């Protein structure tokens, strides 16, 4: 049994999340953390806070901050919450602040809103 508590602590994972395994790409040295939610965990609707069991999940991949030229990727199944009042939302993820979504392989909720703001220096 591997102990991934070090990584859990870095990412601020709560007890509803677990690291399934960690893989290393031998050529690039990239590290990939595979994260899943624990079975039976409830997640709150991001709009109204109602606690729900996931009604599904979608897969996504993030690039975590670049440390020492090692790329940390996070692959996870993000629980989908179906709220009676607010509809479908994705569960809040703990590593959102520190990582960039690089691949959203999940359900297609394309809003076509790619507003990359021009770089402002002042
Ligand atoms: Zn709701």
pLDDT per residue over 95-116, tens digit each? Answer: 887 777 877 655 544 444 444 4
Reported in sequence order, the residue ranges of the chain that DSSP labels E, i.e. its strands, are: 17-24, 31-37, 43-44, 51-52, 56-64, 72-83, 87-90, 99-104
Query: Is 84 inside a domain boundary?
Result: yes
38 C-alpha to center of ligand 1: Å?
A: 21
Q: How far is CA 24 from CA 3, 27, 30, 70, 78, in A?
A: 16, 9, 6, 10, 22
Query: Is 48 inside a domain boundary?
Result: yes
Query: Is 117 inside a domain boundary?
Result: no
Query: Is 122 inside a domain boundary?
Result: no
Does the pLDDT at position 7 exceed 80? yes
Q: What is the pLDDT of residue 1?
A: 52
73 C-alpha to center of ligand 1: Å?
A: 30
Query: Is 45 inside a domain boundary?
Result: yes
80 C-alpha to center of ligand 1: Å?
A: 12
Query: Is 113 inside a domain boundary?
Result: no
Whole-model pTM: value is 0.75
Mean pLDDT of 22-46: 92
117 C-alpha to center of ligand 1: Å?
A: 30
Query: Is 28 inside a domain boundary?
Result: yes
Token digits for 80? 């989908």
Phi, psi for 98 (deg, rounded to 5): -105, 0
57 C-alpha to center of ligand 1: Å?
A: 17
Query: Is 50 inside a domain boundary?
Result: yes
Residue 53: domain span: 5-104
Domain count, the chain: 1
């Amino acid at each position: 049994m591997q102990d991934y508590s070090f990584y859990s602590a870095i990412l601020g994972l709560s007890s509803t999340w677990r690291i399934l395994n960690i893989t290393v790409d031998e050529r690039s040295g990239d590290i990939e953390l595979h994260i899943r939610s624990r079975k039976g965990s409830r997640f709150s609707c991001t709009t109204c806070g109602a606690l729900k069991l996931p009604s599904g999940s979608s897969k996504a991949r993030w690039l975590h901050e670049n440390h020492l030229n090692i790329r940390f990727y996070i692959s996870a199944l993000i629980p989908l919450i179906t709220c009676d009042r607010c509809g479908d939302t994705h569960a809040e993820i703990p590593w959102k602040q520190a990582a960039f979504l690089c691949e959203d392989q999940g359900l297609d909720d394309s809003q076509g809103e790619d507003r990359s703001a021009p770089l402002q220096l002042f």
